[in-house]
Structure 1
Amino acid sequence: MTEMRPIETWLTDMDGVLVHEEEPIAGAQEFIAALREADVPFLVLTNNSIYTPRDLRVRLLRSGIEVPEESIWTSALATAQFLSDQRPGGSAYVVGEAGLTTALHDVGYVMTERDPDYVVLGETRTYSFESITRAIRLINDGARFLATNPDPSGPSPQGMLPATGSVAALISTATGQTPYFIGKPNPLMMRSALNRLEAHSETTVMVGDRMDTDIISGLEAGMRTVLVSTGSTRPDQVGRFPYRPTMVVDSIADLVPMAKGDDEALTGR
Structure 2
Amino acid sequence: MKNYSAYLIDLDGTMYRGKEVIAEARQFIEHLQANGIPYRYVTNNSSRTPEDTAKKLQNFGIEASVEQIVTASMAAAAHIKSHFPEARAFAIGERGLTDALKEVGIEIVEESPDVVIMGIDRENNYKKLRNACLYVQQGAEFLATNPDIKVPTEKGLVPGNGAFIKLVENVTGVEPTVIGKPKRHMIDFALEQIGANAEDTIMVGDNYDTDILAGMEAGLDTLHVHTGVTTLDEIKNKDRRPTYSIETLEEWFK
The interval holding the TM-score normalised by the smaller chain is over 0.9
Structure 2 Cα separation of the partners of residues 12 and 47 of structure 1: 11
Q: Within 5 Å, which residues of 2 pair with 1:60-209?
A: 60-156=57-153, 159-209=156-206
Structure 1 Cα separation of the partners of residues 238 and 126 of structure 2: 37
Once the two structures are TM-superposed, the CA of residue 200 in structure 1 deviates from its matched residue by 0.2
Is 1:242 the equivalent of 2:239? yes
Tell me whether 248-257 or 7-16 shows the greater mean CA deviation. Answer: 248-257
Structure 1 Cα separation of the partners of residues 157 and 218 of structure 2: 30
Structure 2 Cα separation of the partners of residues 148 and 181 of structure 1: 6
Aligned to 1:49: 46
Once the two structures are TM-superposed, the CA of residue 34 in structure 1 deviates from its matched residue by 2.2
After superposing on structure 2, the runs of 4+ consecutive aligned residues of structure 1 that deviate more than 6 Å are: none
TM-superposition CA deviations, 1:1-31 (whole Å, max 9, x none): 8xx6x41100111111111112111221111
**Contact persistence 2:169–2:175 (CA under 8 A):** yes
Aligned to 1:39: 36
**Contact persistence 2:152–2:229 (CA under 8 A):** no
**Contact persistence 1:145–1:178 (CA under 8 A):** yes
SS in 1 for 2:219: coil
Is 1:213 the equivalent of 2:210? yes
Once the two structures are TM-superposed, the CA of residue 156 in structure 1 deviates from its matched residue by 4.4
**Contact persistence 1:80–1:103 (CA under 8 A):** yes
TM-superposition CA deviations, 1:236-268 (whole Å, max 9, x none): 2212111111111111122245xxxxxxxxxxx
Structure 2 Cα separation of the partners of residues 245 and 172 of structure 1: 29
Aligned to 1:224: 221
Q: What code does the residue aligned with 2:27 have?
A: E
Structure 2 Cα separation of the partners of residues 246 and 170 of structure 1: 34
Unmatched runs of 5 consecutive residues or more in structure 1: 258-269
Look at both structures and tell me which one has the larger radius of gyration over its CA atoms.
Answer: 1
**Contact persistence 2:20–2:154 (CA under 8 A):** no
SS in 1 for 2:147: coil
Q: What code does the residue aligned with 1:223 have?
A: L
**Contact persistence 1:92–1:109 (CA under 8 A):** yes
Once the two structures are TM-superposed, the CA of residue 159 in structure 1 deviates from its matched residue by 4.6
Structure 2 Cα separation of the partners of residues 150 and 9 of structure 1: 25
Structure 1 Cα separation of the partners of residues 70 and 120 of structure 2: 15
**Contact persistence 2:46–2:73 (CA under 8 A):** yes
Once the two structures are TM-superposed, the CA of residue 157 in structure 1 deviates from its matched residue by 5.2
Match of 1:27 among 16, 24, 27: 24
Match of 2:6 among 6, 9, 20: 9
**Contact persistence 2:19–2:153 (CA under 8 A):** no
Once the two structures are TM-superposed, the CA of residue 215 in structure 1 deviates from its matched residue by 1.2
Is 1:58 the equivalent of 2:59? no
Structure 1 Cα separation of the partners of residues 16 and 218 of structure 2: 24
Structure 2 Cα separation of the partners of residues 246 and 138 of structure 1: 41
- With structure 1 as the length reference, what TM-score do the two structures score? 0.89
TM-superposition CA deviations, 1:32-51 (whole Å, max 9, x none): 12222333210111111000
TM-superposition CA deviations, 1:117-175 (whole Å, max 9, x none): 10111101111111111112222222111111111122445554322111111112222
Instruction: Number of aligned residue pairs: give it.
Output: 254
- With structure 2 as the length reference, what TM-score do the two structures score? 0.94
**Contact persistence 2:203–2:212 (CA under 8 A):** yes
